[in-house]
Amino acid sequence: MKRLRILGCAALLAGAAACSDPAPRTTGIIPAPRETTWLEGSFALPATLRYTTQFEPADAAELETWAAGRFDLHPAAAEAEAQLRLVQDPAVAAEGYRLRVDRRGIEIAAADAAGIFYGMQSLLEMADRFGGRIPAVEIADAPRFAWRGLMFDVSRHFRTKEFVMKQLDLMARHKLNRMHWHLTDAAGWRIAIDRYPELTEIAAWRPYPNWAAWSRGGARYCRRDDPEAHGGFYTKDDIREVVEYARQRHIEVIPEIEMPSHSEEVLAVYPALSCTGEPYTSSDFCVGSEATFEFLENVLDEVIALFPSEYVHIGGDEAPKTHWRTCPKCRERMRREGLKDVDELQSYLVRRIERYLNARGRRLIGWDEILEGGLAPDATVMSWRGVEGGIAAARSGHQAVMTPGSHCYLDHCQDDPSVEPPSAASFVSLADVYGYDPAPDSLGTDVQRMILGVQGNLWCEHVVTDDHFEHMLWPRGLAIAEVGWSDREKMDYDDFHARVLDAVERMRGAGYHPFDQKSAVGSRPESREAVECLSTGKPVTYLTAYNAGYAAAGDATMTDGLRGGWKFGDKRWQGWLNRNVDLVVDLGERQTIAYVGVDFIQAPAAEIYMPGSVELSLSDDNEHFTALATVAVDETLDPRKTAFQTFAWQGEAAGRYVRVTARIDTARGGWLFTDEAIVR
């Protein structure tokens, strides 16, 4: 495989002839080091950088291999001629390093090979910033968290091994050390299992070019040799190659095999493992059947043989459990095991699978739903539905990885959704990711010590192409890296943002397709300043009730002066489910008005749609209303994307009560979301 160069030798030597030392303000390193002390002078990188090492020869050989095309790195014949010294120092923290650059050369000290590797990454970052003359500096650095991860969903849209390894290069550069590989889900099974060939002959393929078309078309699979087949899978040799490539970059690959749900693809080809015995009828394995455990254990045996990781992820999320309630086998399992409900039945599966993994030297990790029905004794929780699951696990003595959707879901839109490519309906900016603290002091030390770290998740329902994947992942993945590595009290978003702009340019030069952070709009302009108008602070009568789950500020929402942002769940947008919006604003007295307007948001991925029309009307007595205007939806809006529309009237009229009536498309149903009634 041809490896993309992140840093060429020419870039390293570009400044070697400089006569004066640079005046550094920042190292440019992402993630930001723990301590940086600038010294006098600088070191000019030679064409060949000769080194000595106190580490194992195999570690040095791997470092040389990885540095190929970046540094021309060769062992020195004698200590005296070495310009780079790799020193083993057991006093340095795990994965940490001490980097010193002075006029004589470079020294990297670490307790382990990972620390040396990360010290080299920091040296590369500085070479990118300063060219061939590195300013004299001493850096003492170590990670805040042991788990600094990214999750790649290859089920919804398959990615080649070469593409995955390309992302591993960038992960390693920025000291991310866990790649969570979401290999199985309803949309496709992506790993060869010798004992069950139909998983990759059928369950890895669908007669549609993308997930959306497949989902709309009935979510059926096809054989690998079907002329319309789209999909793919990794052979065992592919898996071994990726795992080894990651290991050389000090990244642990965590496989995920979904259970007991998100398993439609398995049950389509092996329907006897479901409660119904029929394909395309269930997403849940039958937990009452011993055949289910025989299948799962056989699959796990082959997975364990491929992945040396400490953890195996079992999913465990979003199980409907519907058929379990009536399935004779499940009911008999519950009776025999003394399980009071289907949540405890899921816990039975999780505990049994954990024992199986533990007996083979592995640990179980799953999404926070594995808490339901009782957590398995040694299980680690990955908290995605907010932070509560991770905190609950930590308080009960279990380790947790924090990955809440509000800050760590990288499939969410990151800027103005009207111009961004398709995404999930929510919104997570670079600043949102950077602002997340996985283990704040408020949790207390007992909870903090159980939090392993942080992970960004890139789900790919809407992410079809490789370019789109990188657009969503980078540079937000850099924010995950800094949140996971750097000391919280020393983090500075403005400084980070400046470093990101440089990093984005380097990524582009190396063949990546990151989001153009330099041109980011940022928060929705309408949401940045409070509104002051005739309706501000006035009482509102709701003739149809808003949904309690999306109440925003309650009855004050529509006149509190706060307009919504890009994200419908930001507690400024108020939602109605399967009903019209109908409300009246009392201006307090009869007034002359010239404008009435109200915004609505469209987010099809969350079944949020524009109203068919909005009627604006006026009354003196709150009984007899005169229509000001009926405003139709803008037909130019792309119905597949998040969008915003202001429904407004302008003119001259007088009255006390302003009524807003937004009519839902009853045939389609779904949500209506609005944020503020503006009267001027």
CA atoms of 188 and 569, how far apart (whole Å): 30
Bridge partners, residue 401, by sequence: 382, 453
Q: How far is CA 505 from CA 92, 468, 475, in A?
A: 33, 17, 11
The secondary structure of residue 601, as a DSSP letter, is E
Query: Which residues, in sequence order, are bridge partners of residue 617?
Result: 627, 659
SS (H, E, C) 379-416: CEEEECCCCHHHHHHHHCCCCEEECCHHHHECCEECCC
DSSP E strands: which ranges in 480-567? 540-542
- Which residue type does 470 have? E
Say whether the peptide bond before residue 260 is cis (omega within 30 degrees of 0): yes
3 state SS of 161: helix
- Between strands 311-315 and 252-259, the pairing is parallel
Q: Considering the candidates 318, 337, 495, 638, report the single residue annotated as catalytic.
A: 318
- Catalytic status, residue 182: no
Beta bridge partners, 255, equal 181
Helix crossing, 476-485 with 493-509: angle to 10°?
130
Within 10 angstroms of residue 627's Cβ, the number of other Cβ atoms is 12
Q: CA–CA distance from 348 to each of 212, 284, 393, 498 (Å)?
A: 34, 14, 18, 50
Angstrom distance (rounded) from CA 169 to CA 373: 40
* Helix, strand, coil share (%) of the chain residues, nearest 5: 30, 25, 40
CB atoms within 10 A of CB 329: 16
Exposed, middle or buried: residue 580 (CB in 10 Å: 0-12, 13-18, 19+)? middle
- Residue 318 annotated to the active site: yes
DSSP label at residue 480:
H
Is the separation of the CB atoms in 117 and 64 below 8 Å? Answer: no
Catalytic residue among 185, 264, 284, 461: 185
Told to judge if 185 belongs to the known catalytic residues of this protein, a careful annotator would answer: yes
Q: Count of CB atoms within 10 A of residue 386's CB?
A: 14
Peptide bond into 475 cis (omega under 30): yes
Catalytic residue among 157, 174, 262, 407: 262
- Residues annotated as catalytic are 185, 262, 318
